[in-house]
Amino acid sequence: MASVESVDRTPVGSTAETGPDPRRWWALAVIAIAQLMVVLDASIVTIALPSAQADLGISDANRQWVVTAYTLAFGGLLLLGGRIADYTGRKRIFLISLIGFAVASALGGAAGNAGLLFGARALQGLFAAMLAPSALSLLQVSFTDAKERAQAFGVYGAISGGGAAIGLILGGVLTEYVSWRWCLFVNVPIAVLAAIAAVGVVKESKAHGDTRYDIPGAVLVSGGLASLVYGFTRAAEAKNGWHDSSTITWLVVSAVLLIGFVVWEARGTHHPLLPLRVVLDRNRGTAFASSLLIGAGLFAMFLFLAYYFQQNLGYSAVKSGLAFLPFSGGIIVSATIVSSLMPRINPRILLVFGGVLGTAGLALLTRIDLDSSWLTLVLPAEILLSLGMGVFFVVSASLALTRIEDHDAGVGSAMLNTSQQIGGALGTALLNTIFASAVTNWLADHAGSGSPQLLAGEAAIHGYHVAFWIGAAFIAAATLLVLALVNARTDELSADGAVHVG
């Protein structure tokens, strides 16, 4: 999934030069390449996951860590990463993040066991959490003319939207004709070349004044979310499932850490990672909460469809990547159309319309079977889901900055991306656990009623159905939340928010 945040982080007293930077278009090219790498990484691994799981012997309960290790680190550290880039130097952090991402990708590609792969993915997420905000800030600094800045962010947005589709195809080609490992190795030359080019064409800028970081806040929220995901994983592995002592322990630890984070942000620090005033506004809070729920349903869709295509329909990795392409196309089309509709149609109406389409799309996927037609069943579901999500992403991005103070705009925009990433991590972990339990229970209930191969396929289909129904419930819940709480008017929507292109 890709996303674009437009955040003006350029402070008074920055090192930005007066007048346009003569190297700004070269800088845009370098930054776009870096963004393409991050976007590719998100979608390319989805297609490679079934092969990686088989090669490294990863269990069904643990396979979600290939996705969630990255999204948790990325989403949980994004706010802190933005502040580090602002105060340490955006170009410096951009370069460090590129090289760090390359090293992490090389480690993941060379991983000989599941633990090393999970660790490498988390390290990728850490560097991505610094790379994304530093890249966007550098664009803001480099392009001072409003028209040129709009063009620059248009290019950046196109890379984000189209990059996901490129990743799906490239992931299929590399997995099928070389190895799943090259889906990670491919980042190394891209990152190194981008870093070398950035040295000469990207200019440095940084914020001044009070540069203290909220490290305790970052530790509390990251630890709490990781504990929650691990608790979900233990529920699939432990003997007594959700009632097992280890599952309960990790869930309790998560609750303590997350409550501690809220208390710390409210009272324990004068430099909060997340000022609570940003999320307590009715419309902004709804945008964040609904984005979390949307992410939970959407990320899991990619995971289970990738397995369904390759393991149940027998698609090759390349064909699986191509089978996802209509989803990327639908996102781009609907996002483009809704951008022109926002000035004329109430945001709540648009959000509810998008949510209904998304819910219908995931609900339609509950009809898949062992020999379902992609053309008559999966394709219509993808189109419904993508059209709805394109609407939802664009409108919620603007809603996230409604009535926000200028000094909170960066946090508000980053928080939307954070909500989506964390929702994806939690949803993937939870639904993968529920899927594994549903498959196990179905096999126990139907033991001896057919050949093992047929039973395994039918059990997987049952698990997909359960997961898709719950994913549809997540998107429906987001829709109801919007219907009940959003009251912003069309003229209150921000024109400078993030544009998230799934």
Q: What is the pLDDT of residue 160?
A: 63
Range with the lowest mean pLDDT among 44-53, 212-221, 461-470?
212-221
Question: In the predicted model, is pLDDT for residue 479 greater than 90?
Answer: yes
pLDDT 10s digits, 124-148: 999 998 898 888 778 767 777 767 7
**Phi, psi dihedrals of residue 179, rounded to the nearest 5°:** -170, 150
Q: What is the pLDDT of residue 41?
A: 81
**Nearest partner of 359 among 457, 462, 483, judged by Cα:** 483
Q: Which two tokens stand for residue 97?
A: 């993040």
Q: Are 130 and 93 in contact (CB under 8 A)?
A: yes
Instruction: Read off the pLDDT of each residue in 203-207 and give the average, rounded to a whole number.
Output: 78
pLDDT 10s digits, 380-399: 999 999 999 988 888 887 88
Q: What is the pLDDT of residue 133?
A: 82
Question: In the predicted model, is pLDDT for residue 1 greater than 50?
Answer: no
**Nearest partner of 117 among 43, 44, 63, 167, judged by Cα:** 63
Q: CA 170 to CA 154: how far, in whole Å? A: 23
Percentages of the chain per state (helix, strand, coil), in multiples of 5:
80, 0, 20
Q: What is the pLDDT of residue 383?
A: 95
Give percent above pLDDT 90 in the chain: 44
Instruction: State the Cα torsion 397-400-401-403 to the nearest 10°.
Output: 140
Confidence grade of residue 32 (pLDDT, cut at 50, 70, 90): confident
Instruction: Read off the pLDDT of each residue in 106-128 and give the average, rounded to a whole number.
Output: 95
Q: CA 475 to CA 242: how far, in whole Å? A: 24
Instruction: Read off the pLDDT of each residue in 328-346 and give the average, rounded to a whole number.
Output: 85
Task: Count other Cβ atoms within 10 Å, centred on residue 366.
Answer: 16
Q: Are 4 and 498 in contact (CB under 8 A)?
A: yes
Residue 129 identity: A
**Phi, psi dihedrals of residue 181, rounded to the nearest 5°:** -60, -30
Q: Are 397 and 421 in contact (CB under 8 A)?
A: no
Against a cut of 0.85, is the pTM above it?
no
- 84 vs 95 pLDDT, higher one: 95
Confidence grade of residue 158 (pLDDT, cut at 50, 70, 90): low
- 475 vs 154 pLDDT, higher one: 475
- Report CA-CA distances (Å) from 401 to 12, 150, 394, 404: 21, 18, 12, 5
